[in-house]
């Protein structure tokens, strides 16, 4: 797991470590790692450091000191380094080191700053550090705007200026970096949107904080973590031991949701899928997924679970509709003591009547930001601005595991670290991909994983499958390019993704 921390937790660990080290050791370690990352970046785009033009944006804090010392190292290797001093003060020892190495520094002046930034091969953002919160003050906001138009590489020091290191919140202008070099440990705001979208590639420099960090409240599963959790059939396995998933989804209007959720479950490795819906949705599922065992639900019928057959877990809601009959089906499934994943229209019924969640079995909710806003009765924009806060609140108030979908997918459960998914592609923002995700997670629930692990693994697999599908459909694109995908492409990519893990 990649663990992540708040700025307060990082600063406490730094204080504990600094008490055992000579003064300036941590800054030296950070500057060395930062300079090395910039050397590698310049080598990729220019082939060498010598003669490159580097601009440092320097604020009043220690991040400015890190940038000045790193700039001195680059100047010593032949780079032309200019520092723009934008704060009320600058780190004096770092400034002296830069000048001694041949670098230059001057107070902020708009025209001169614009000229320097526009000609730079690399801009290093050392304006504010992890303790900053709220909108950037001037002239930092102006410099963030200049960086947005910069043709060169942008490297953020520890965290992009304007991004709240503890939450990922962005209140106003912020530096959008190609890479962020962070020190000691990952900060939560580097992993969670909207802040994560400003970071580019995040590189961690070890400065020795590990023994002084507390237990993490946020973690990002890695490929190894997911591979270790995925159910794998043994020699004695049969379809029942591998897990039987019941899916109640689809309607006369929304047949596609049925096909996609069933497809996600089958491609994710469910031993058997029992699917129940109205005749039209059953017809489409039978045509596309003959492996599924199907049951036609008569209009208005209830008390249908015995007719469907025994299962180890349920998925309910995709395309089900929001009428009274759909509500009765959701209530009937939530009335069991089996693990239940509630998605899409099922979440609408739960938002209308949260008493449906008073149950003995495990519950996994998979809302997007708008659905979570309805569940919590808050504005959607509040959820999107403070995703960690709201997904934690939902897990606590609703007594369920909550997978919050979006550009950063989060998984929260009471008294557990929030898990942040690191995979995915913007091409997943298309209709039906959430239905596939519900099928993947349902298959893992039926296979014996907890809601917490099933949600985390499903999000990871879903993101990888989205990337694989987008890359595979990029016919005629440049190597490494991506192109538009359909939701069914994601389901079809799952076996190769699981095989690779």
Extract the annotated binding site: 62-66, 125, 129-135, 140, 158, 161, 257, 319, 368, 405-409, 434-435
* CA–CA separation, 97 and 338 (whole Å): 65
Q: How many CA atoms lie within 13 A of 117 on its CB side?
A: 24
* CA–CA separation, 91 and 67 (whole Å): 10
Q: What residue numbers does the annotated binding site for AMP cover? A: 405-409, 434
DSSP string, 121-180: SEEEEES--TT--SSPPTTHHHHHHHHHT-SSEEEEESS-TTB-TTT--B-S-----SEE
**What's the N-to-C CA distance of the chain in angstroms?**
15
183: alpha, beta or left, given left = phi > 0 and alpha = psi -120 to 50?
beta
* CA–CA separation, 254 and 338 (whole Å): 26
Report whether 250 contacts 277 (CB < 8 A).
yes
Q: Which residues contact 219 (CB under 8 A, 6 or more apart)?
A: 1, 2, 3, 4, 417, 418, 419, 420
* CA–CA separation, 231 and 454 (whole Å): 10
Tokens of 255: 């047949």
Q: What residue numbers does the annotated binding site for K(+) cover? A: 63, 125, 161
Report whether 342 contacts 317 (CB < 8 A).
yes
Q: How many CA atoms lie within 13 A of 275 on its CB side?
A: 38
* CA–CA separation, 75 and 84 (whole Å): 15
SS3 category, 294: strand
């Amino acid at each position: 797991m990649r663990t992540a921390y708040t700025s307060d937790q990082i600063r406490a660990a730094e204080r504990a470590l600094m008490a055992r080290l000579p003064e300036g050791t941590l800054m030296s370690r950070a500057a060395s790692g930062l300079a090395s990352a910039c050397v590698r970046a310049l080598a990729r785009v220019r082939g060498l450091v010598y003669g490159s033009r580097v601009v440092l944006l320097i604020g009043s804090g220690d991040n400015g000191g890190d940038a000045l010392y790193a700039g001195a190292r680059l100047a010593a290797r032949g780079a032309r380094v200019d520092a723009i001093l934008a704060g009320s003060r600058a780190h004096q020892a770092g400034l002296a080191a830069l000048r001694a190495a041949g670098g230059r520094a001057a107070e902020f002046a708009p025209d001169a700053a614009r000229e320097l930034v526009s000609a730079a091969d690399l801009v290093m953002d050392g304006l504010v550090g992890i303790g900053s919160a709220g909108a950037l003050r001037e002239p930092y906001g102006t410099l963030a705007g200049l960086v947005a138009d910069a043709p060169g590489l942008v490297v953020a020091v520890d965290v992009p200026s304007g991004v709240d290191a503890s939450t990922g919140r962005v209140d106003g202008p912020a530096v959008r970096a190609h890479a962020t070099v962070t020190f000691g440990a990952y900060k939560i705001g580097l992993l969670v949107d909207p802040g994560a979208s400003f970071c580019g590639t995040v590189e961690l420099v070890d400065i020795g904080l590990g023994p002084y960090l507390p237990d993490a409240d946020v973690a990002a599963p890695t490929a190894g973590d997911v591979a270790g959790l995925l159910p794998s059939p043994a020699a004695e396995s049969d379809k029942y031991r591998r897990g039987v998933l019941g899916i109640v989804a689809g309607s006369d209007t929304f047949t596609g949701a049925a096909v996609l959720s069933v497809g996600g479950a089958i491609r994710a490795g469910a031993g058997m899928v029992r699917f129940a819906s109205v005749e039209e949705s059953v017809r489409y599922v039978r045509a596309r997924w003959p492996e599924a065992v199907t049951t036609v639900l008569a209009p208005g019928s209830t008390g249908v679970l015995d007719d469907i057959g025994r299962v180890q877990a349920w998925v309910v809601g995709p395309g089900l509709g929001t009428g009274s009959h759909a509500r009765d089906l959701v209530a009937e499934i939530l009335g069991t003591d089996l693990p239940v994943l509630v998605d899409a229209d099922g979440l609408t019924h739960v938002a209308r009547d949260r008493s449906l969640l008073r149950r003995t079995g495990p519950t996994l909710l998979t809302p997007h930001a708008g659905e979570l806003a309805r569940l919590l009765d808050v504005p959607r924009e509040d959820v999107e601005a403070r995703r960690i806060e709201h997904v934690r609140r939902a897990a606590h108030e609703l007594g369920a595991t909550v997978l919050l979908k979006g550009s950063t997918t989060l998984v929260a459960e009471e008294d557990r670290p929030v898990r942040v998914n690191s995979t995915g592609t913007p091409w997943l923002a298309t209709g039906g991909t959430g239905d596939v995700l519900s099928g993947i997670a349902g298959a893992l629930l039926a296979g014996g994983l907890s809601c917490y692990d099933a949600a985390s693994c499903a999000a990871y697999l879903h993101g990888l499958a989205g990337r694989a599908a987008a890359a595979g459909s990029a016919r005629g694109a440049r190597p490494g390019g991506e192109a538009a995908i359909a939701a069914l492409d994601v389901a079809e990519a799952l076996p190769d993704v699981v095989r690779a893990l």
